[in-house]
Amino acid sequence: MLFPGDLQDEATNAALVEATVEAFGGVDILAIIAGTMPTVDSIDDFETHTLDHVLKTNIYPLFWLTKAASPHLEPGAAIITCSSIQGFVPSPSLAEYAVSKAGIANWTRAMGQQLAERGIRVNGVAPGPVWTPLQPAFVPNEKIESFGEDTPLGRPGQPAELAPPFVLLASQEASFIVGETIAVTGGTPAH
């Protein structure tokens, strides 16, 4: 099912969940992955509208989607978030993004504890450098050529390499994992 909309709008999040429930009869897995990643090299270039945009894209949908889905989530359901190594080891030029990703990791811990009594598992994945649409859209050209070379594996990850942790966290194989964020970083320590 395709559902075009802006996740920065609370009503869109609620409508997305309702359309999903109507189309599929419920919600078993909620993966909250959308994000934005502006590069701001200096606090002197900081603009409030950039921070607002990052938080409204990366943080607000966590609350809105979960609240809308909550009445439909049964024991055994899973919520999976997408943080980043930036949430643990921030780059100076990605301060707004790093703050949002640290917030996602903390939200994951809090919701993991809050929803565990209902049998709903909340966990996350924290990618390191991975080729996604964020890189060409936000990484300066002079940095893109060496993107990911500083990992112990010496390369960026591919989106397919992120799939296994998401699949694990969505499955009942992860029935005793709650409030955790799995780092997928090519060997770079995330904590």
Which residues are designated catalytic? Answer: 97
Q: Chain centroid to CA 63: how far?
A: 13
Cα gap 17→30, rounded to integer Å: 9
Rounded to 5 degrees, what are φ and ψ at 75?
Answer: -55, 135
52: nearest Cα among 116, 103, 96, 109: 96
HEC per residue, 2-56: CCCCCCCCHHHHHHHHHHHHHHHCCCCEEEECCCCCCCCCCHHHCCHHHHHHHHH
Cα gap 64→175, rounded to integer Å: 25
